[in-house]
Amino acid sequence: PLTQVILDRSGTIDKYMGDGILAFFENDSDDITSASRAVSCALQLQERARETDQHYRAQNRFPFAIRIGLATGYAKVGNIGPVEKIDYTVIGGIVNLASRLQGIGEPGSIIIDEDTCFFVRNDHTVTALGLQNLKGFSKPVEVFSITAREQVVAG
């Protein structure tokens, strides 16, 4: 069910990694839409994870929760590797950043970088988490958590 959420938002699934999914979003033509589509997808993924958790708990099964890391930037996308083991994938520092961001999150969280924050801060509730030292990055990285903005319903 999580895979379908990504595909419904025009995301590309790069690979399944153990209990994780690596997906990416490309911009539509000249419009910068990848960050907002990725955040929208992440919020829906978290909602689906909460539903799955409730379902599992009702069956006395193990709890279910996910962490999500999102980073906006340039990556190499395409067929990578030697002829004997060519693989369509996404690589680059931005991919590593997204991985590190999800790694510092708590279950149920969505952690984003400063560039993603720039594109979505007016549409969602963003909380600054400060500078974080992340493995593989020489300088601390400014990180944020994101949640859906509460909708006010006129009564």
3-state secondary structure 50-87: HHHHHHHHHCCCCCCCCCEEECCCCCEEEEECCHHHCE
Sign of the dihedral defined by the CA atoms of residues 49, 51, 57, 59, in that order: negative
Question: What pLDDT, on the 0 to 100 scale, is given for residue 153?
Answer: 46
Instruction: Kindly report which listed range (1-5, 119-123, 126-130, 150-154) carries the lowest average pLDDT score.
Output: 150-154
pLDDT band at 150 (very low <50, low <70, confident <90, very high): low
Question: What pLDDT, on the 0 to 100 scale, is given for residue 152?
Answer: 44
Residue-wise pLDDT tens digits, 100-136: 999 999 999 999 999 999 999 998 999 999 999 999 9
Residue-wise pLDDT tens digits, 8-58: 998 999 999 888 899 999 887 777 788 999 999 999 999 999 999 999 999
pLDDT band at 147 (very low <50, low <70, confident <90, very high): confident
Residue-wise pLDDT tens digits, 33-46: 889 999 999 999 99
The closest of 58, 146, 59, 82 to 108, measured between CA atoms, is 146
pTM of the model: 0.89
Phi, psi for 37 (deg, rounded to 5): -70, -40
